[in-house]
Chains A and B, each alone.
Chain A
Amino acid sequence: MKESVLHKLTILAESAKYDVSCSSSGTIRRNKAGMTGSTSGWGICHSFTEDGRCVSLLKILLTNFCLFDCAYCVNRRSNDIERVAFTPGELAELTIEFYRRNYIEGLFLSSGVIKSPDHTMEKMLRVVKDLRTIHHFNGYIHMKTIPGASQELVHQAGLYADRLSVNLEIPLEQDLKLLAPEKDHQSVYKPMHYIQQGMVQSLEERRKFRSAPRFAPAGQSTQIIVGAAKDNDKDILHLSSALYQRQSMKRVYYSGYIPVNTYDKRLPVVKDSSLKRENRLYQADWLMRFYQFNANEILDDKSPYLDLDMDPKLAWAIRHPERFPVDVNTADYATILRIPGVGVKSAKMIMVARKHGRLNLNGLKKIGVVLKRAQYFITNNELPHYTIHEATPEYVKRVLRDTPSLPSPAEQQLSFGFTD
């Protein structure tokens, strides 16, 4: 490896760091003879940066040259920064050497747009193809699809990568037009659609022939930047919910806007609440994916923002005292899932454990129910009757405000019990 690679790596990692998705979950790939690598199905973090985020993939740009001038991006054309580019060979070698040392689970390849979306895609494809065919690499590859890329190239990418993503970035079309004049939602939704088509087609073919090639087996994901425009949480959650309805959308990532180009007057002055908001959105997203909530239940026109001091599940329960108390020994799974202080795991354990006899408070505690929160929402013969009705919603709100219950995003990446 040449000295210059060190320099490029530093610059291109810097330029890639704001892309939040770094999960390596979703495909299981056993090792094949003569190949390097496997993927486990759940993501493995190999390190944690000083900001507390998991490092799972070598997240890197092929180049930070870019034709476009998106207001929220460090790599925009009008920024005066040093520009460098890897050769596909350099990047493939770097990936394989890092992988062999157990630094990473694979590669997350992204890039600035050079010449044209298709030209860029072709270069990125070279890296991925080299890894799979020359280096016999069998680990995880996530490739970011360039907005505006053609169907043919998206199709090729899907045959080599585990996951594809096209970043939506700005939730509302008119805001995107303002902040990224060269882009529009159409240029994002089109490749998203190609990916979905590719997956459907591959599934059909594989039903006929077991050996038909897999297409993006870990599905697709997207990222939304939160707080760079005037969108509210309700807009964002409804958008995510619509995206999840497409069968191939596995994850929506939320990235609290970090001001990288403060000179641009189109961008807001950032309040330090952006990280908190990002966290709450992940929790709400979690409720939609694992707790059977729909977006309308979490937020509506009356309250378009998530409560920053309270997790959305608790907020929902306090708004709906009529749904409580719940009898943990008789209620169905969906109802038990909605009790604050009860997670997916403990809800499942409650369902099986109560076959052995009535669950008392001690049993609930052993299972991992957080009684401090749950006590106001359940009935049990042992409990003095002091539910949300006697205590009043206002009181419950006051005492439980800001006691964490849902896992933070970093912990979510570590929750092996769930596949995402």
Chain B
Amino acid sequence: MSIFYYDKTFDGLLSVVFDAYKIKHFPQALLAEGDIEPMFMERVHTTVTDSGKSDRVWTALRKKLSKQALNHIHHVWQSELPEADYLIFRYIRKVIDSSHSVETHFADEDVMAMLKLAKKVSKDTMYLIEFVRFQKTTQNIFFAPVAPDYNTLPLALRHFIDRFADQHWALYDIRRGYGFYYDLQRVEQITLPDENALIDGKINPTLLAEDEQQFQTLWRNYFKAITIRERINKRQQRQHMPARFWHLLPEMQN
């Protein structure tokens, strides 16, 4: 078996592609430095991440793929699944080696696997966009703790910047321990310095603006009032709004 080591960054992965074509040798597995080596190793290569290399690969892909397919690659990468990088690698190889567009070759296993995983990630991104609930803090920042399955916060960012351009807000991924803060001008990546800011993934109530609870109550009441009781269908509710999000939704707190 032959393997490539790289730093598990996206640029790193594209550099791997560059190296593989350069030395005309294609790995059967991609490992991070320090991973346990498989048995029966034949050949090892270590790729050093280099933006010059990754840019060239990306430019080549941009010539052959639609914007949508390029997005799919990003989405699959953000899935953070252990098999995602090697899948992307195989896909890119097919794109480069083929004279015609492979992205619509839906009968191909890798093309379909990319599509499926990208769809899952984009669904998760959509959930984020739907179910983020901002809470106003004493400092007038609209803060939302989130917990997506995949690392989708960067993918949803554009939507929030566009939508909430005139308010200070922050989105915080409690599962991954990082977030983004928007200050009316720019967005920056943050980690929470204060350990007491979140309790059990929820904002510490002492940090909330005075009327925040009131708006949550208004929303909860509204939510109850518009239910058509003659047509209760909790199965459908769960199907569209999976229970794993409920702890972040004020309307689902009794």
Contacts and interface: CB of A to CB of B under 8 A. Distances in A.
Given A1-B218, A98-B219, A349 B134 contact: no
Contact of A353 (B107, B166, B225, B240): B107
A16 B225 CA distance: 9
Nearest to A414: B240
A349 B219 CA distance: 42
A380 to B, nearest CB: 13
Contacts of B178: none
A352 B104 CA distance: 6
Contacts, number: 153
A47 interface: yes
Nearest to A367: B106
Interface string A288-315: 0000000000000000000000000000
Contact of A49 (B162, B165, B215, B223): B223
Interface string B214-254: 11011101111111111111111101110000000101000
B166 A34 contact: yes
Contact of A356 (B105, B159, B165): B105
Interface in A13-42: 13-14, 16-18, 30-31, 33-38, 40
A223 to B, nearest CB: 14
Interface residues of A, number: 60
A58 interface: yes
A127 interface: no
A100 B214 contact: no
B9 interface: no
Contacts of B236: 48, 51-52, 408, 410
Contact of B240 (A5, A36, A52, A59): A52
B48 interface: no
B167 interface: yes
A45 B240 contact: yes
Given A54-B240, A100-B142, A355 B104 contact: yes
A58 B222 contact: yes
A100 B134 contact: yes
B21 interface: no
Interface string A377-412: 000000000000000000000000000000010100
A55 B130 CA distance: 10
Interface stretch (A195-203, A238-246, A357-365): A357-365
B218 to A, nearest CB: 6
Contacts of A103: 133, 219
Contact of A47 (B163, B215, B235, B241): B241
Nearest to B102: A356
A371 interface: no
A18 B104 contact: no
Contact of A35 (B166, B214, B224): B166
B185 to A, nearest CB: 11
Contacts of A362: 107
A2 B135 CA distance: 19
Contacts of A18: 228
Interface string B101-127: 000111100001000000000000010
Contacts of B132: 102
A54 B241 CA distance: 10
A46 interface: yes
Nearest to A362: B107
B223 A136 contact: no
A172 to B, nearest CB: 25
B239 to A, nearest CB: 8
A353 B106 contact: yes
A210 interface: no
B84 interface: no
Interface in B143-188: 144, 159, 162-167
A128 interface: no
B131 interface: yes
Interface in B34-69: none
B187 to A, nearest CB: 14
A10 B130 CA distance: 23
Nearest to A411: B240
Contacts of B100: 356
A355 B102 CA distance: 11
Contact of A36 (B126, B167, B226): B167
A182 interface: no
A170 interface: no
A97 B215 contact: yes
A31 B251 CA distance: 27
Contact of A48 (B134, B165, B218, B237): B237
A50 B232 contact: yes
A58 B142 CA distance: 20
A275 interface: yes
Contacts of B142: 100-101
Given A101-B142, A102-B133, A102-B144, A94 B218 contact: yes
B200 interface: no
Interface string A155-180: 00000000000000000000000000
B222 A101 contact: no
Contacts of A367: 106
B129 interface: yes
Nearest to A12: B225
A48 B235 CA distance: 11
Given A1-B214, A100-B142, 12 more contacts: A10-B225, A17-B228, A35-B165, A44-B130, A50-B234, A52-B231, A94-B218, A101-B142, A101-B219, A258-B228, A356-B107, A366-B107
Q: Which 3 A-B pairs have the closest CB atoms?
A: A52-B236, A363-B107, A13-B225
30 contacts: A1-B214, A9-B218, A9-B225, A10-B225, A14-B225, A16-B226, A18-B228, A31-B162, A36-B164, A44-B130, A46-B130, A47-B249, A48-B240, A49-B237, A50-B234, A50-B237, A51-B231, A51-B233, A52-B237, A98-B215, A98-B219, A100-B164, A101-B215, A103-B133, A353-B106, A353-B107, A356-B100, A356-B105, A363-B106, A366-B112
